[in-house]
Chains A and B, each alone.
Chain A
């Protein structure tokens, strides 16, 4: 028998500990992506053309270069500037930064969907710019794009194994470590694959329910 159930059982706790780190990094990174993406989206609407254009290209740059390279860049370049962060924090920042490029596009679409009349009404009321965003535009824009934003949570979860490259002890990293120690890769890699599919399929199922709920109005 090639597959060893006993061995598989014995490594499961290690892998599940890795899964916890994976989920942690994903959720924290997601929070960064949601916040930073919103900043990009608002800056793109800045009255200054230069700011708008610069942000546009920054976002395009982040989006069209690999996450892995960005992670390495942060991991090696940040200490060079005197800023020393743990691998996990670097990974969370990297994930969040990368995905902020995607979430900003989603916000942008949501903002563009808010009828011009809403802006005009806010102007007619002479609301300060800050109130227009916070009180009128964003609540409408964000609500509509919640399901799309949620998509990226799953996408990020699936990109989180890349953090192993900068030594974050996430799930694939644990699997690799176990495999290297025992010289058995089949069980750890297969279990990781299965866990990934289970978590992603479950979360897309939940997501579809979310879409259903928010799609109904």
Chain B
């Protein structure tokens, strides 16, 4: 055990890569979620179909398969990706597809009466969305987004399989150099757990902010029904 603990700089460097992957991946996922989630609420049937295709395709495939495809298959047709780029792309596109469903569901869950009030005040379609519907929808999105963030962070461990030196890969190296298999994996499991708890605290903080913005009593009682349903979609 002490062998493992004394190699903490190696593990910390790995953890830092895991955190970076999580940040970049979720940034991309967030953009994809909003773009394709909003497209799915559009009036045009073509746009909606585009949104559907993105969601069905990237939800349908596994992150690891996607990552292997970017990393091993695409270079053969001339598109060569740095491993980190392939990883962020695979994580972001995959989780973004789930996020798009969250965005779509949340925007639709804002009461219709709110939309009607924006029409009565003669707002432009863009203003309706940006000033009234989205701020309320975001409060509904936060709990399922929190789940997706954790999923993305956990999912990032697969990048070790395309030899990115994240926490998981560092653990493999350490296992080989120390032979302390059980200790190594216990330590990094705890590290992943800590990262997940920190992320969760961050999302809880955002949820509290949103509750205050909407004048709801802070607390977990007002969680949206989307939480369990979309969180379950993984």
Contacts and interface: CB of A to CB of B under 8 A. Distances in A.
Is the A/B pair a real complex?
A: yes
A162 B157 CA distance: 10
Interface stretch (A27-35, A39-47, A64-72, A121-129): A64-72
A148 B230 CA distance: 10
B20 to A, nearest CB: 16
Interface stretch (B59-67, B102-110, B112-120, B202-210): B59-67
Given A64-B196, A69-B189, A196 B233 contact: no
A77 B168 contact: no
A138 B209 CA distance: 38
Contacts of B228: 109, 148
Nearest to B66: A193
Contacts of B186: 73
A165 B159 CA distance: 11
Contact of B76 (A152, A176, A184, A197): A184
Interface stretch (A48-56, A84-92, A153-161): A153-161
Given A68-B168, A148-B232, 10 more contacts: A61-B189, A64-B197, A65-B196, A66-B192, A68-B161, A72-B168, A148-B229, A184-B76, A193-B69, A197-B56
B72 interface: yes
B150 interface: yes
Nearest to B183: A77
B10 interface: no
A185 interface: yes
Interface of B: 56-57, 59-66, 68-69, 72-74, 76-77, 150, 154-158, 160-161, 168, 171-172, 175, 181-182, 185-186, 188-189, 192-193, 196-197, 200, 228-229, 232-234
B168 A193 contact: no
8 contacts: A64-B197, A66-B154, A66-B156, A73-B182, A158-B62, A192-B68, A193-B61, A196-B65
Given A151-B232, A151-B233, A185-B72, A69 B157 contact: yes
Interface of A: 2, 61, 63-70, 72-73, 76-77, 80, 102, 106, 109, 148, 151-152, 155, 158-162, 164-165, 172, 175-176, 179, 184-186, 188-190, 192-193, 196-198, 200-201, 204
A41 B182 CA distance: 28
B232 A186 contact: no
B154 A196 contact: no
Nearest to B75: A185
Contacts of A69: 157, 168, 171, 185, 188-189, 192
Nearest to B57: A197
A211 to B, nearest CB: 11
B168 A106 contact: no
Contacts of A160: 62
Contacts of A2: 76-77
Given A66-B157, A106-B232, A152-B232, A200 B60 contact: yes
B64 A161 contact: yes
B100 to A, nearest CB: 15
A161 B162 CA distance: 14
Contacts of B193: 61, 64-65
Nearest to B69: A189
A102 B234 contact: yes
A22 to B, nearest CB: 10
A172 B64 contact: yes
Contact of B182 (A77, A106, A175, A198): A77
B232 A189 contact: no
A76 B171 CA distance: 12
B73 A190 contact: yes
A158 B61 contact: yes
B69 to A, nearest CB: 5
A155 B69 CA distance: 19
Nearest to A171: B65
A184 B72 CA distance: 9
A7 to B, nearest CB: 12
A176 B232 CA distance: 31
A33 to B, nearest CB: 12
Interface centre among B65, B182, B196 (most CB of A within 10 A): B65
